[in-house]
Amino acid sequence: MLPTLDEAKGLEEVANNIPHEKIERMGWNIHVWVVDGGSSDETETVTKNNKFQFMPQQGKGKGAAMRLGFVKFLESGHDALVMLDSDGTYDPREIPKFLDKLSKFDVVVGDRLNGDINPDAMTRLNYFGNHILTWLATGLYGITINDLCSGYWGFTRKAISRLKLNSMKFEIEAEMYTSCVKEELEIKNIPIRYSSRIGQAKLGSVSDGWRIFRKLIVRRIFGTPIEAKIGKGNLDIE
Ligand SMILES: Nc1nc2c(ncn2[C@@H]2O[C@H](COP(=O)(O)OP(=O)(O)O)[C@@H](O)[C@H]2O)c(=O)[nH]1
Ligand SMILES: [Mg+2]
């Protein structure tokens, strides 16, 4: 599952590197969804050219997009889901490593901070912020996560069906982690490569860092989003 907002060039690169044959040799049928936040570039054309499924999102933000994707995934009947950003930072050739670990774990998180970060891929501020937020998350919740804000995750169907989320933006990964802890899903961290992005960043380091921090605190106090408590699903967007 690939979230996109004006990432035509990055998406092209991701598409070229998805190891379809290797994944099929491992026994999986692969289906690629592009969850789009209203791109005004060639994203839809690139999606169609690669025979991926284009899924326009209803709300705004990466969080809303992923939650829509998760609901559609559960309706689809597939067994596992791997999500990664479409900006060329994450390498789709590592997907088989995620699928491999999903035979033993509920959730697999790609770990850039103990992996291989290209020198130009992350600003100093983001590097520092990622470490602080990750350290804080492990301290608050007691379950080790090595890279809280990673955009490369793998899930079993069971894991997706248990997640309870209401994030709209870039705090989604932090909430995925807190929900995994709450639902007692087993998390495996695996080192991954992280490269420089193609195109313009959508994340604002300080404002989104603050949203992530707030989400960690709020979910520590109120473990489950109110929408889930009153019986509404992950798709109830504000
Ligand atoms: N569907 C959707 N995707 C988004 C939205 N905002 C960002 N994205 C995608 O989410 C991914 C991560 O965004 P990015 O700007 O790279 O954030 P960073 O990697 O955390 O700095 C990229 O693939 C973006 O195109 C949105 O509003 N909707
Ligand atoms: Mg990025």
pLDDT given at position 229: 80
Amino acid identity, position 135? W
Contact between 85 and 172 under an 8 Å Cβ cutoff? The reply is no
pLDDT tens-digit series, residues 92-137: 999 999 999 999 999 999 999 999 999 999 999 999 999 999 999 9
pLDDT tens-digit series, residues 150-166: 999 999 999 999 999 99
Strand order in the sheet with 2-4: 2-4, 33-36, 53-56
pLDDT given at position 160: 97
Residue 126 CA, closest ligand 1 atom number: 21
Q: Is 226 helix (H, G, I), strand (E, B) or coil?
A: helix
As its CATH architecture, domain 2-225 has Alpha-Beta Complex (3.90)
Spatial distance between the Cα atoms of 66 and 179, rounded to a whole number of angstroms: 14
Q: String of b and e for 171-201 (b: at least 16 CB within 10 Å)?
A: bbbbbbbbbbbebebebebbbbbbbebbbee
pLDDT given at position 237: 54
- Say yes or no: CB of residue 14 within 6 Å of ligand 1: no
Residue 36 CA, closest ligand 1 atom number: 1
Spatial distance between the Cα atoms of 63 and 27, rounded to a whole number of angstroms: 30
Contact between 101 and 138 under an 8 Å Cβ cutoff? The reply is no
> Which of 5, 40, 89, 238 to mutate for ligand 1's pocket (most ligand atoms within 8 Å of CB)?
5
> Domain residues of the chain, as ranges?
2-225
Spatial distance between the Cα atoms of 38 and 28, rounded to a whole number of angstroms: 30
CA distances from 197 to 28, 89, 121 (A): 29, 5, 7
pLDDT given at position 227: 84
Contact between 181 and 109 under an 8 Å Cβ cutoff? The reply is no
H or E element, residue 82: strand 80-83
Closest CA to 13 of 88, 91, 120, 83: 88
Spatial distance between the Cα atoms of 40 and 44, rounded to a whole number of angstroms: 9
- Say yes or no: CB of residue 7 within 6 Å of ligand 1: yes
Ion ligand 2: residues, CB within 5 A, are 85, 87, 89, 197
Strand 153-156 with 33-36, pairing: unpaired
Spatial distance between the Cα atoms of 200 and 208, rounded to a whole number of angstroms: 16
Q: Which parts of the chain register pLDDT below 50?
A: 238
**Residue that has been written with the tokens 């080192």 in this structure:** 191
